Amino acid sequence: MSNGGAAAIRDGLERSRWTVVELWRATLGISGTLTTQDVAELASGQRPSTGYEHDILASALNDHLTDAGRGHPVPYWRDLPPD
């Protein structure tokens, strides 16, 4: 994941007012297989993500934010700016 990708996930977490555990639970609901440690490491930028990992986090956040009337603020992997 680019640094921008981790920043996008962190921004989504702040906008959603979710914790890492809440984001992890939401990923399980859309068939994600990440652990809470994975989510914490990806959101903090401690390790790079694959496109799939980023998109599952972005999808969970965007689903929640859309339901709350806040749109799709978290870009998907293909929409991230290059490093």
In 1-83, alpha helices (H):
3-16, 20-29, 36-44, 51-67
Contact criterion met (CB below 8 Å) for 74 and 61: yes
32-79 per-position pLDDT tens digit: 899 999 999 999 999 999 999 999 999 999 999 999 998 889 999 999
Q: How many distinct structural domains can be found in the chain?
A: 1
Rounded CA-CA distance 21/2 in Å is 22
Domain boundaries, position 17: 3-79
Q: What is the pTM of this model?
A: 0.92
The CA-atom distances, in angstroms, between 24 and each of 33, 46, 60, 65, 79 are 9, 16, 9, 15, 22
